[in-house]
Chains A and B, each alone.
Chain A
Amino acid sequence: MGAGGRRFKSCYPDVELKSIDLLRVQVHIAALSEINNHQLLEEISSTSNSIPQELRDGFGDATNQTYFEDTTFPWGKPEATRLLSRIEGVVTELSGIDMTVTEAWIVKLLRGQSVMAHSHRVNNHLFPQDHFSIAYYANAPTESANLIFEIGHSNLIEQITSITPETGMLVIFNSYIRHMTTRHNADEPRFVVSANLSPRHPRSAVVPDLSAYRLMSEYGN
């Protein structure tokens, strides 16, 4: 998002028109061609389990979580490790911030299944724009569920953006953006690696300088 100018070729010679961005939010898509998805799927199949009950209980009342349909990430396995390292590199390059994966998990969809609307935001994201999430498609057969981003703005406008996944596709988006899937209509399962990335050195400064409004006692008066 930014506030840059954009000039139009005007059909009115006396009018010079400039567009100023008020809101500009985007998601990013890349293809990770160097990942061996066959090996990655084997690692997922051989090691992934349902999220343990004690961890699920730890989520408490976090109804925004979709943990009940998730399985564990094959931590430590070679291709899975390579994937996370690559994702860290891509998101670091994209954001210009040194990013690290904080959580990763697997979502497996079978025919007729879908993922409900949710976001990956948590209240301790002081600068929400610095936190990213990803979806990497280890297997996305034809007729796979689409990824849907659902965004409202200006208290009025609803914007839906749909992405048809492909095997090897990496989708990067801010963690606060709400998303969901349509139903999966293929016999072959759809495997997604999901992860959250946060800055290795998160910003902690309060942005506005409100020092002039501080309590008089802080100035020794």
Chain B
Amino acid sequence: MEIRELPVIRQSVFSLKLENIDNVALVKELESYYSNINASSGSSDMRFPQAGEQSSKLQTAINSGVNLVAGKEMECREFWMFSLTDGGAVPLHNHWTNYQMHPEEYYSVAYYPAIPYGAAKIHFVATYCRMMKHVLTVEPSAGMLLIFNSYLDHYTDRNSTTEKRTCISANYRPVSPDKSLVSDWTSFALPHAAQDDRFSKFS
């Protein structure tokens, strides 16, 4: 007997290995450019040195990867980096905002230029059907780029090494975002008496 499978949810995280990035040179570049985004807030996030040679090359490679996953031309809107030290972790969060009308076409990334032994893993958490939960754990490696929908919740466990675990993050949006309404509700639209004879009796 043939049993057909009909997918009702398919949600993936994409992983790429960027081979053409000189990560040693990139890390040196990052360390020489470190600039805290908001020192007064105590935030661990740092500005990304977009002008640097390796940084610029990385950004081009990430752009290509995101375009490939999204299947359309994407643009980077935010770019930053942060380092976890011994015992540090990133709490559960996502990169979704209310401005994303079609959330499925917005992506975020995490790139790891150097991963020491014992570095924190990243966990993606998805709930579904109001009760089920699934966690996907990814062990980062040097040169790994993760691309995921911005709405996905994720966090890290603790960084169990004295060496820094640096992650470069970015948010992407479509160059031409889909602004259409998904459902066709035109038949339920408010009447415009002047243009529609059906409603003339109300005028």
Taking Cβ atoms with an 8 Å cutoff, the residues of A that contact B are: 1, 3, 6, 8, 10-12, 14-32, 90, 93-94, 119, 121, 128-129, 149, 151-157, 159, 161, 163, 172, 174, 176-178
Contact = CB atoms under 8 A, between A and B. Distances in A.
Chain A to chain B: the 5 pairs with minimum beta-carbon distance, closest first: A153-B128, A23-B11, A25-B9, A29-B4, A19-B12
Interface majority SS on A: helix, strand, loop or mixed? strand
B32 interface: no
A128 B14 contact: no
20 contacts: A12-B64, A14-B61, A15-B68, A18-B16, A20-B14, A20-B15, A22-B13, A22-B124, A22-B136, A23-B126, A25-B129, A26-B6, A121-B131, A151-B129, A157-B11, A161-B8, A176-B131, A177-B129, A178-B129, A178-B130
Given A20-B15, A25-B9, A152 B129 contact: yes
Nearest to B103: A156
Interface residues of B, number: 43
B134 A14 contact: no
A22 B12 contact: yes
Nearest to A174: B129
B2 interface: yes
Interface in B126-146: 126-132, 134, 136, 138
Contacts of A18: 14-16
B6 A16 contact: no
B65 interface: yes
Given A24-B9, A26-B5, A156 B96 contact: yes
Interface centre among A21, A90, A93 (most CB of B within 10 A): A21
Nearest to A18: B15
Contact of B68 (A17, A23, A31, A172): A17
Nearest to A176: B129
A157 B129 CA distance: 11
Interface stretch (B17-25, B75-83, B155-163): B17-25
B128 A151 contact: yes
A12 B69 CA distance: 11
Contacts of B4: 28-30
B153 interface: yes
A94 B136 contact: no
B152 interface: yes
B190 interface: no
Contact of B8 (A15, A26, A155): A26
Contacts of B124: 22
A25 B2 CA distance: 19
B1 interface: yes
A154 B13 CA distance: 13
Contacts of B3: 28-30, 90, 93-94, 172
Nearest to A16: B17
A27 to B, nearest CB: 5
A201 B172 CA distance: 48
Contacts of A129: 132
Which of A10, A12, A25, A161 has the most C-beta atoms of chain B within 10 angstroms of its own C-beta?
Answer: A25
Nearest to A32: B1
Given A27-B6, A28-B4, A90-B1, 12 more contacts: A8-B68, A10-B68, A17-B16, A17-B69, A22-B136, A24-B7, A24-B9, A24-B10, A30-B4, A128-B131, A128-B132, A151-B9
